Amino acid sequence: MYSTPFLDLPPLEAASGTVRLPGSKSISNRVLLLAALAGGTTTVHDLLDSDDTRVMLNALSALGCRIGREGAALRIEGLDGQLRTASAKLFLGNAGTAMRPLTAALALLGGEFELSGVPRMHERPIGDLVDALVQLGCRIDYLGNPGYPPLAIHAMSLDALQVDAPIRVRGDVSSQFLTALLLALPLASASREITIDVVGELISKPYIEITLNLLARFGVVVRRQGWERFVIPAGSRYRSPGDIHVEADASSASYFIALGAIARGDVIRIEGVGADSIQGDIRFVEAARQMGAKVESGPNWLAVSRGAWPLKAIDLDANHIPDAAMTLAVMALYADGPCLLRNIASWRVKETDRIEAMAQELRKLGATVEDGPDFIRVHPLGAASWRAATIRTYDDHRVAMCFSLAAFNPAGMPVRILDPHCVAKTFPDYFETLFSVAQTADVPVICIDGPTASGKGTLAVATAYQLGYHYLDSGSLYRVTGLAMRRAGLEADAAHEAQIAELARQLPLRFIKGQVLLDDEDVSDAIRTEAAGMDASRVSALPAVRAALLALQKSFRRLPGLVADGRDMGTVVFPDARLKVYLTANASQRAERRHKQLISKGIPATLDSLRADLEARDQRDSSRSVAPLKPAPDARLLDNSSQSVEQSVEQVLAWWQEAQPFGSA
C-alpha cells in the first residue's frame, strides 16, 4: 500500500494477466455486524482487510464482541442481541457501512453511545434514518448539525418500541438507511412482525438485495412487496450460519473489467467474483459489454479483453450500479461519442460529492464535461487532446482507482494520483495489483551514483520512499556476490571468474524494508564490513561477474519506478534514466561518516586509515578498465559534504519535479 503524498503513474500501454480481488466491503461489514448480533460463533472467510472493516471490527470489540483469528479466517462470538458494554464512544472514520447500521442497531440494543467520524462523515446526511428510528421511540440526539453525525444514542426499552404502524423511510437518498433498519429491526421482532414502507423511489436496489440475501443466511427471511414494503416476521432471531465466505468486491472488479476493455494486450482474468454474484455492481459487466468489451464468465471468475475500439458511447440509467458507474465516467474518455450517466444523485452524498469531483478531475485531463443534480455527461478525448494531470482524490478511494485508468491514454501522458493511500478504504493493494498486470516500455528510473561512503545508499532509500518507488542497492549485489564467493571458498581472480559469475546469476536476493535478504537470510550486517566492501570491489572488476549481474540489476526496473544507487547505474545499467545524480563528498567528510558508522557498531577504526582506504578505493574504481567510476555526461552533480540527508533528498526530489509535467504536487 502506498502512503506517499502522491503516486506518479507513467504512461501505460497494455495489460494482461490474473488479478485476485479483495472481499466486498458491502458484504464484509454486513457480515461482521450480523455475526456480532447473532447467537453462536461465526467463522468469516475471505473478509476484506481495509479501513472500513477495521473501523467496524474496532467498534464491535468496544461493544464487547469477542473476535479472534483462526488462520486467515476471523472467528466471531455473537452477542445474541445482548450488548456486554453499556456505553462507548465510537469513532467510525468515513465508513458509511459502519455508521448507518450501527446507529440503528445501537438505538435498539440499549445503552449510551456517541458515534462520530472524520469531518466528511459529519457532512453525510443521516437524518432520514434518525427520523425513522425516532418514529419507533428511539432516543437520538445530534451533537452537531441537525441531520448529520455525530450522534448521541440513549438507552430505551424494546418493550417501548412503537412498531404497530409501518415504519416509513425515504428511499431516494441512500439505500444504506433501509439496510440499517433491515439489519436492526429483527432485534425487536420477538413477538410481532415489523413493516417498513419506502417513501419515494428506492435507489441502489442491488444493495438491498445483498442485505436480504445475508439476512436469510443468518436466519431472518424478510418478505418483500416490490420495492415499497418489507416485512420482518414475528419471532425473527439471528442465528449463526457457522461458516460464511465473503465474495470478492464487484465494485473493485469494475476497474479491471474496464482495464480489459481499454488496454491492448491479452485477457485480464479476474478471480473472486463471477456473473452469479449476489452484488448488484456485477451488472457493470452489462455496461462494459454495451461499450464493446468482450467478457466471459464462470463460477467465481471473469475474463475481459478489448473488443470494439474506440469504445461505444452509452446513455445509461446508472442507479443500479452507483459505485461502479464512476468507472464508466473514465471509460467515456475512450469512447466514440459523449457518454451520459443518469439517475446518480446518490453520488453527491458519498465519501465526497462524486459528481462534482469526477467533473473537476476529468476536466483536468482535457475533457469536456457537463454535470447536473443527478447526471454527468463526458465527452471523449482525441489523442492530441489529453493532458498530464494531477488528480485530487478527495479522500475517496473510488476517485483514485477510477483515474488510474487514465494512464492508458493514447497520448502517452503520465497521471499523478494525490493521496494514493485513500484506496485503503476498500482495496489497500489496488495499485500493486494494477502494476502486476500493467505493461509499459518506459518505467521511470532515478540513478544515484558516487564513490564509497558518499551517502548514496541513504539518499536513494529516502528518495525511493518519498516516491513510492522500488529500490536497488547495486553495491549490495556485489557485496552479496563477494559473500557467496567466500562461502564457496573461491577467490576473486581469473581462475574462479566463471564460477563466481554463475553464483551471481543465481542470487536469490531481495530488498525489504532496509534489509538485504539472501535466500531469506538477512545478510545486511554481514555485507557491511570493510572486508566485504573490499571483496565487492574485487568481484566488480571481473567482466563475467559484471555481465551476470547486469541482467539481475535491470530486473529491478518495475512499476511504478525505480531508484538505483551504485557506481555505474547512470553510465552502464540504466543509461536512459530520466534523472542521474552523481553524489560525492570530500574524502575527509566521507571518512568521518564511515568512522561514526563503524564505531556505532563496535568496530574499531581510525580516521587516517579510513581516509587512506577511501582514497585508494576511489583511485582503483576510477581507473579500472571495465565501467570506471565517473559521472554520466548528463548527470546532476551533488556535493553533500555540508548537507544533511534531508537537504540532499529535497534537492533530488526538486530535480525530479523539474522533469515532470505536473508542476508542484
Please state the residue numbers annotated as binding site for phosphoenolpyruvate.
25, 96, 124, 176, 354, 398, 425
Binding residues for 3-phosphoshikimate: 25-26, 30, 174-176, 204, 323, 350
Q: Where are the beta strands (DSSP E) in 145-239?
A: 151-154, 167-170, 194-199, 223-225, 229-232
Identify whether 276 is a catalytic site residue: no
CB 128 within 8 A of CB 167: no
Kindly state the helix (H) or strand (E) to which residue 355 belongs, with its residue range. helix 354-364
Kindly state the helix (H) or strand (E) to which residue 315 belongs, with its residue range. strand 315-317
Going from the C-alpha of 636 to that of each of 162, 365, 395, 570, the distances in angstroms are: 75, 31, 36, 11
In angstroms, the first-to-last Cα distance of the chain is 19
Measured between alpha carbons, how far is 248 from 301 in angstroms, rounded to an integer?
10
Sign of the alpha-carbon dihedral angle for 403, 433, 23, 293: positive
Grid cell locating 662: 505536473
Q: Are strands 268-271 and 301-305 parallel, antiparallel or unpaired?
A: antiparallel
Going from the C-alpha of 550 to that of each of 112, 532, 556, 557, 572, the distances in angstroms are: 65, 20, 11, 12, 9
CB atoms near residue 654 (< 10 Å): 10
Grid cell locating 519: 535466500
Specify whether the backbone of 82 is left (phi greater than 0), alpha (psi in -120 to 50) or beta. beta
Measured between alpha carbons, how far is 636 from 459 in angstroms, rounded to an integer?
14
Q: How many residues does this entry show for the chain?
A: 665
Q: Are strands 223-225 and 41-45 parallel, antiparallel or unpaired?
A: unpaired
Catalytic residue among 46, 52, 249, 323: 323
CB-neighbour burial class of residue 491 (10 A; exposed 0-12, middle 13-18, buried 19+) = middle
Measured between alpha carbons, how far is 500 from 306 in angstroms, rounded to an integer?
47
Binding residues: 25-26, 30, 96, 124, 174-176, 204, 323, 350, 354, 398, 425, 450-458
Measured between alpha carbons, how far is 62 from 106 in angstroms, rounded to an integer?
12
Q: Give the CA angle between residues 369, 373, 378 to the nearest 5°.
A: 20
Grid cell locating 81: 442481541
In one letter, which amino acid is 204? Answer: S
CB 400 within 8 A of CB 407: no
Measured between alpha carbons, how far is 249 from 246 in angstroms, rounded to an integer?
9
**Among candidate residues 212, 208, 282, the one with its CA nearest the CA of residue 249:** 282
Name the CA radius of gyration of the chain, rounded.
30
Measured between alpha carbons, how far is 7 from 176 in angstroms, rounded to an integer?
32
Binding residues for ATP: 450-458
DSSP, res 406: G
CB 526 within 8 A of CB 516: no
CB 262 within 8 A of CB 63: no
Residues labelled catalytic: 323
